[in-house]
Structures are given as C-alpha cells and as structure tokens.
Chains A and B, each alone.
Chain A
C-alpha cells in the first residue's frame, strides 16, 4: 500500500491536552455550594463511622437502668441516654457504621448486577432484551418497601438477609435505567463506527459503551442510597434487619418509640440522623447530575 504514516514527520511538540470529562465535572461540581455542603456532611459522617471507637465518649453497649432516658444536655451525656441508659451520642456514632453500610452496600451490589443486566439487555437487544427486562418488570409489580419486607421476612431477620433483600429491590430500577441508556448509546454512529472497525462486542462495550453509560447509571444509583438508607432503617425498625443490641438508627428509632411522650427530643435523634444523611445523599446526587449535564 501507499500508506506509510510513520514516514510523516510529526514535530516533537508536546500535545496540548484538554481537561478530561471527569475533571470538568469536578470543576462544575465544586462550584455548587449546596452539593459541596452535602458532600462535606457525608464525608464527615463516613469519618465518624470509621473512627467511632476513638470518637465515642462511652461504650455504646453498656447501659445502666439508673440513668435511663436522660434528656439531651445532661452532664456527661451530651445527647442523653436511651431506654437502657446507654449513651446516645456514642450509639449514634456507632450507628452510623451499620446504617451507612446497610444503606450503601445494597445499592453498590445492585449497581454491579443491575448495570450488567441492563447493559447486556440494551446492547444485545432482541429476545435477550425481552427476557431480561420482562423478568425485571415482574419485580416492579411490587412496591419496593413491601418487596423488601417480604423478602427479608422470608429469608429471616439479620444483616446479611437484609442486604440481600435490599439488593434485590434495587436491581430492577438500575437495570431499567442501564438498559434505556445503553439502548440510546448503541445506535450512535460512534458505536457503529467501532463495529465497522471490526471490534468485538465486549471491546465495544468496554471502550465505547461503559464510559458513556456508567455516569448516568451511577448518578441514578446515588439517588437510591437515600431510599436504601430509609428502607434499611425501616427493616430494622420492623425487627427484620439489624438485631438488638447493635446500634442502628432505624432500630434505635423503634426501641425509643416507647419514650415518645416522656422524651420526644431524645426519641427524634435517630430520625434526625437518618434525615440528614438521606437528604445529603439526595443533594449530592442533584449536584452531580447537574455537573454531569454538560452541553457541548
């Protein structure tokens, strides 16, 4: 052939590089004060959860009936004590571990499984799509709370079973988003061009599809974390998730329920934590979504 591209002299000038997509997203995200505040709250919560043993002023498991249900502000117990006389601040700190874990893990598990199902269905199309997506639709027939309760009820109480049932609940919506995004990407000319270059389906998915679909799927999954936190707390509240005496916000809300009339402020504390965490995740997701919505 007449081709000899190696012969063409390319001057040894350094190539000018544009900032990549993600650095642009970060630049836009960092200009959003609400989203940055939400990020700060979440980072703080994660740090507290990790370093709870060093930060907590007392043992979250040791109670004393003599000092039951002290209101917040009591000396030595800044946020009061619960119905068994355990330090609320310490229990809330330790509770962040389980609550965050129970909220985030199912979403990430569902992200992997759901994205795999959705991308496969979207890229392959045809009857594969029909089988996978109609199966997912079966799960949509049940309200997510009911499905989670039914699954953990059937599997039995416990952290692992709670995680499994929540993961199952979140797979279908993530798969559906992944499928619709992939379907729209699949017919783009650059995917056609990649096929025209002879690349295999797996290589095209890895190089051309994933980079363009993971962003939207990830944002959607992030928005599910808040839902997951609330569902996980709900399961624990119903006695289907975390079992006593483990500190978990949903479970704490349940056990403190009895003190609602005597110590309403104390009783509301775990709920406030759940609220702050889930709204922070929601605001973070909103910020991320608008930061990623780059109009070229």
Chain B
C-alpha cells in the first residue's frame, strides 16, 4: 500500500498539483477480496478468484466518481465491499475521516450514510411488500417511527416522480422497470445518506427511461447534496454523469482521473482501447479494427507483472515482470495511470523521457 505522498513521488517527484478538490469523503485503500474456489476435499479452496486485488481510490465530497470496466473486472465487487455487504480480505475504508467498522463509526451508522442502488430493479424489491413498506423499512431500522417512516416514503415517492396515492400501496410486479428503479432510488434515499453507490443502476432500462432516471439522479444530487459512486459499463453514460472516472481491469485500477482529461488523453492503453470501442456518429470514422482482441485473462491466475500485458500492443519484457504502480500524470487534478509507459523511471522504451534534473 502506498501513502498519498509516496504516490505523488512515484515518478521522480513531480510537484503535486495545487489541491483544489473538496475534502475526501470516502477513502478506500488496499482493498482486497479473493473468493476461494470450491472443490477438493472438504470444500477446501484450490486457489482463489482475485476479484478485487488491491484497489485504492478516493471519493471527494459532492462529486460523482464513475467506475468503468469490462464484465468481471471487479466493479460490482468493489461496490459491495465499499457497502460492506461482503467483508474485504484486506484494506481500509475511511468515511469522513473515520475508520468504517471501528469504534467511532459502527457498520450500522455507516450504512445510514452510504446507500446503494442495484442493477436488477425487480430483484431488489421484496415481492411481498408494498412499495411504501419497502421504502419505509430502512428508516424504521434506524429508530424512526412507523408512521413517520411511511410519511417519508410517500414524500420520497412524490420526489422521484411517482404519485404516492397511485403507487404507495402497489407491489413491485405491478410497476415498470423504470418505475421500480425510481422506487429503489427512493428506498436508498429514505435513510438520508450522503453517498449513493449506483451499481449499474440504469443499465437494465431502455434508453428513454434511462435518460429520465439519469436526470432525476442529477437533480437529486443537487437537491440533497449527495455524492455518487456511479458504476456502469456504458462509457457515454459515465462521461455524462461523472466528474472523475476510474477504469478497472482484472481487479485492479488501471487509470483514474478527471473525466474530460481521461476521455481526451487517456494514459493507460486499456483505457485507450476501451474508449476506442465507442462508436462514432460519423460514418467516415467507423470502427474498422477491434481495438482489443481476446478476453480478459482468468482472475484465478492473473498474469504476472502488468495484468494487461497479455493484450497490450505496447507490451515489453518489463511489463510481464514488474507490476506498474499508480503513476501521477502531470496536470491540475490528480490523474493516475498504472502503466510503465506513463512512468519516467520505469525503463519502458515508450516511457516519457526523464526530465532533465
């Protein structure tokens, strides 16, 4: 694990950019989750799936951090780890300067402040509960009286654009996908959280409904001063929503930086390939060549060195030996890429020249 200072000094002491960022709200460092494989005698593991393998990132107050990556890169596992739905094997989560799960911030208190919206709008609502019961459940757990919780549920339904008198007494199967996802958003907001983790929250909706829900999310963010962690595989949606973007590959962070800077000048070849898969509106600029071939390697036996070197066009011998650390990219806002080509000191032939002392 690297401290922020060490990361800043990684590529030979680039002076850190003037900090203009709001205070950090959620700091995740060294997050690791390995799922043991079933099988063998007594179900003892024969190896592990390295779902999340050392992930560090920070979410600043009031921003939206987008997380993108292929299926199986650990986006959703990261979300569930941050939400503490599964226990991390290692790593530290600090919320508002306090250790999560520590004496000052027990899990229950943390969970009132960080909430999550899941991808499957139907599976995330109890089919035997009415909409208002589902929304009111959370507040009652935290000691709000039943009548007040129901009043809050109805008010939130109204806020997310569902008339309470029509929807409060309904069951989930009577609603459309978009309506259900609005209910899920209301349910997450019922605890008055400060952070909302949106795990592919709009991915299952059709485009017109998706746009409405995205705009609703933006409105709610302004209105309630929320901070979002927005997970999606849809690069355009992430660009629309996010202030900063984190790109994940095979359980590790490939690149993290301000959205526009990352989309315009990505420094990790995986990010470049991912962005290259975006379709152009211009028929003269159609994609003729697949930006990336093959599937991601098996997370049970990830390749040594840089995990991307098996598919990277610029891979050199160095890449299969040494794990690239997060390298600070010059610029105003913090922008890191875990690539030897971004690191002056790495010895990669395409690394930027060492700055003359």
Q: Do A and B bind each other?
A: yes
The answer to the question of B35 belonging to the interface, with a C-beta cut-off of 8 Å to chain A, is no
Q: Which stretch (A12-20, A39-47, A96-104, A218-226) binds chain B?
A: A12-20
In the bound complex, what is the Cα–Cα distance between A199 and B141 (angstroms)?
A: 6
Nearest B residue to A192 via CB reads B85
Nearest A residue to B199 via CB reads A189
Which among B108, B169, B174, B191 has the greatest number of chain A C-beta atoms within 10 A? B169
Please encode chain B, from 105 to 124, with 1 for each CB lying within 8 Å of some chain A CB and 0 for all others. 00111011001101010111
Given contacts A2-B225, A198-B112, A198-B142, contact A296 B173 (CB under 8 A): yes
Chain B 121-141 interface residues, beta-carbon cutoff 8 Å to A? 122-130, 132, 134, 137-138, 141
Specify which chain B residues have a CB less than 8 angstroms from the CB of A18 in the assembled complex.
Answer: 130, 169-171, 174
Which listed residue (B127, B164, B224) contacts A296, Cβ 8 A?
Answer: B127
Specify which chain B residues have a CB less than 8 angstroms from the CB of A190 in the assembled complex.
Answer: 123-126, 134
Q: Is the CB of B192 within 8 A of A3?
A: yes
In the bound complex, what is the Cα–Cα distance between A6 and B170 (angstroms)?
A: 22
In the bound complex, what is the Cα–Cα distance between A18 and B225 (angstroms)?
A: 35
Please encode chain A, from 169 to 213, with 1 for each CB lying within 8 Å of some chain B CB and 0 for all others. 000000000000000000011101111111100010001100110
Output the least CB separation between B126 and chain A (Å): 5
Q: Is the CB of A8 within 8 A of B158?
A: yes
Output the least CB separation between B190 and chain A (Å): 8
Q: Is the CB of A21 within 8 A of B128?
A: yes
Specify which chain A residues have a CB less than 8 angstroms from the CB of B107 in the assembled complex.
Answer: 198
Given contacts A10-B151, A198-B142, contact A188 B171 (CB under 8 A): no
Given contacts A5-B151, A196-B83, A197-B191, contact A189 B120 (CB under 8 A): yes
The answer to the question of B155 belonging to the interface, with a C-beta cut-off of 8 Å to chain A, is yes
Q: Is the CB of B128 within 8 A of A5?
A: no
Q: Is the CB of A10 within 8 A of B112?
A: no
Given contacts A194-B137, A197-B141, contact A189 B130 (CB under 8 A): no
Specify which chain A residues have a CB less than 8 angstroms from the CB of B142 in the assembled complex.
Answer: 197-198
Which listed residue (A15, A188, A199) contacts B168, Cβ 8 A?
Answer: A15
In the bound complex, what is the Cα–Cα distance between A211 and B129 (angstroms)?
A: 9
Output the least CB separation between A11 and chain B (Å): 7
Which listed residue (B85, B120, B134, B173) contacts A195, Cβ 8 A?
Answer: B85
Q: Is the CB of A10 within 8 A of B155?
A: yes
Which listed residue (A10, A195, A212, A296) contacts B154, Cβ 8 A?
Answer: A10
Output the least CB separation between A292 and chain B (Å): 12
Q: Is the CB of A15 within 8 A of B165?
A: yes
Q: Is the CB of B124 within 8 A of A193?
A: yes
Q: Is the CB of B151 within 8 A of A196?
A: no
Chain A 18-64 interface residues, beta-carbon cutoff 8 Å to B? 18, 21
In the bound complex, what is the Cα–Cα distance between A167 and B89 (angstroms)?
A: 43
Output the least CB separation between A105 and chain B (Å): 28
Please encode chain B, from 81 to 118, with 1 for each CB lying within 8 Å of some chain A CB and 0 for all others. 00101000000000000000000000111011001101
Specify which chain A residues have a CB less than 8 angstroms from the CB of B122 in the assembled complex.
Answer: 296
The answer to the question of A1 belonging to the interface, with a C-beta cut-off of 8 Å to chain B, is yes
Output the least CB separation between B154 and chain A (Å): 5
Q: Is the CB of A5 within 8 A of B124?
A: no
Specify which chain B residues have a CB less than 8 angstroms from the CB of A17 in the assembled complex.
Answer: 130, 169
Nearest A residue to B189 via CB reads A3
In the bound complex, what is the Cα–Cα distance between A198 and B100 (angstroms)?
A: 13
Chain B 164-198 interface residues, beta-carbon cutoff 8 Å to A? 164-166, 168-174, 184, 187-188, 191-192
The answer to the question of B152 belonging to the interface, with a C-beta cut-off of 8 Å to chain A, is yes
Nearest A residue to B119 via CB reads A189
Nearest B residue to A212 via CB reads B128
The answer to the question of B223 belonging to the interface, with a C-beta cut-off of 8 Å to chain A, is yes
Specify which chain B residues have a CB less than 8 angstroms from the CB of A198 in the assembled complex.
Answer: 107-109, 111-112, 138, 141-142, 191
In the bound complex, what is the Cα–Cα distance between A104 and B124 (angstroms)?
A: 37
In the bound complex, what is the Cα–Cα distance between A193 and B115 (angstroms)?
A: 8
Specify which chain A residues have a CB less than 8 angstroms from the CB of B173 in the assembled complex.
Answer: 296
Output the least CB separation between A264 and chain B (Å): 52
Output the least CB separation between A119 and chain B (Å): 15
Q: Is the CB of A212 within 8 A of B126?
A: yes
Which listed residue (A189, A203, A296) contacts B118, Cβ 8 A?
Answer: A189
What are 22 sample pairs from A and B whose C-beta atoms fall under 8 A apart? A1-B224, A2-B225, A5-B151, A5-B155, A5-B156, A8-B159, A10-B158, A10-B164, A17-B169, A21-B127, A190-B125, A190-B126, A193-B118, A193-B184, A193-B188, A196-B115, A197-B137, A197-B141, A197-B142, A198-B111, A296-B122, A296-B172
3 tightest A-B CB contacts, nearest first: A296-B173, A189-B124, A17-B169
A interface residue numbers (CB < 8 A to B): 1-3, 5-6, 8, 10-11, 13-18, 21, 188-190, 192-199, 203, 207-208, 211-212, 296
**7 additional contacts (CB under 8 A) given A197-B191, A199-B137:** A8-B158, A16-B165, A21-B127, A190-B134, A192-B118, A192-B124, A196-B116
